[in-house]
Amino acid sequence: MCLFCALSCVKGAVPIDERGFVSIGGIEQWITITAANRDNPVVLFVHGGPGNALSPFADAMFDGWEKDFTLVQWDQRGAGRTYGRSGPSIESTLTFDRIVLDGIEVAEYLTTHLHSKKIVIVGGSWGSLVGMHLAQKRPDLFSAYIGTAQLVGMRENSRASYERVLAYARETKDAVAMDELTQLGPQPWVGYAKWRTFRKWRVAYQAKLATASTPEMKPSMEY
């Protein structure tokens, strides 16, 4: 018996499993809502990137959470199925301020639709920036903010990351990495190509230095 079916037998538990487009910020944006009991505390996940929607991997990442929480995945404009619906036509609206306003609309929709006075925000990486601004602008909508891979000082973070990656390249005598990173030089970097070069080597050394295996991220069947 599935979790939703089993728990729906519990007195007062009303499951919810909704997946579809909602009008947010003048465009249709993809939102999923799942819970074994729709009266559970509502958790809105604000994904990273920009552009890395979590909805395809929600079943793998949050399996079992529906017992205690109402889980909401939101594909931000320019990401996931929201991008699939609008395409590049919304390029001119892809600003940080616009996405924060979208997030406020999403939260307002959830409080009304789920009859919840306040909701919890979980923001990761880029989503941690969006999440902090949501909580700051509309504290009346949120009971808690949880940041993962929390971003604080982007410039200082990138400067320190560059120095560390270059140091690892020198320690391992990786001539190709040393050459490309030295040519790149420290920040500021202008243009995506330079960021791509840095990210390539940062990810390579992260993989070499990782002490834990990467969890398997299987997309949900519908994807």
Tokens of 208: 């070499």
Question: Coil, strand or helix: which one is 32?
Answer: strand
Query: Which residues are paired to 122 by β-bridges?
Result: 45, 146
pLDDT at residue number 192? 85
**Are 141 and 118 within 8 A, CB to CB?**
yes
Percent helix, percent strand, percent coil in the chain, to nearest 5: 50, 20, 35
Domains of the chain: 3-148 (3.40.50.1820), 154-209 (no CATH)
Query: Which residues are paired to 70 by β-bridges?
Result: 42
Cα-based distances in Å from 104 to 25, 33, 140, 154, 219? 10, 17, 11, 24, 27
Q: Name which of 152, 127, 112 is nearest 45 in CA terms.
A: 127
**Strand 142-148 versus strand 119-124 pairing type:** parallel
Angle of CA points 122, 104, 121, to nearest 5°: 10
Query: Which residues are paired to 143 by β-bridges?
Result: none
The residue-averaged pLDDT of 143-162 equals 91
pLDDT at residue number 1? 40
Helix or strand (DSSP H, E) at 99: helix 96-113
Q: What are phi and psi of 118, to 5 degrees?
A: -140, 160
- Model confidence, pTM: 0.84
What angle separates helix 154-171 from helix 175-184, to the nearest 10 degrees? 150
Average pLDDT, the chain: 92
**Are 56 and 217 within 8 A, CB to CB?**
no
* pLDDT value at 149 more than 50: yes
- The rounded distance, in Å, linking the Cα atoms of 160 and 24 is 38
pLDDT in tens, 120-133: 999 999 999 999 99
**Are 110 and 104 within 8 A, CB to CB?**
no
pLDDT in tens, 52-84: 999 999 988 999 999 999 999 999 999 999 999
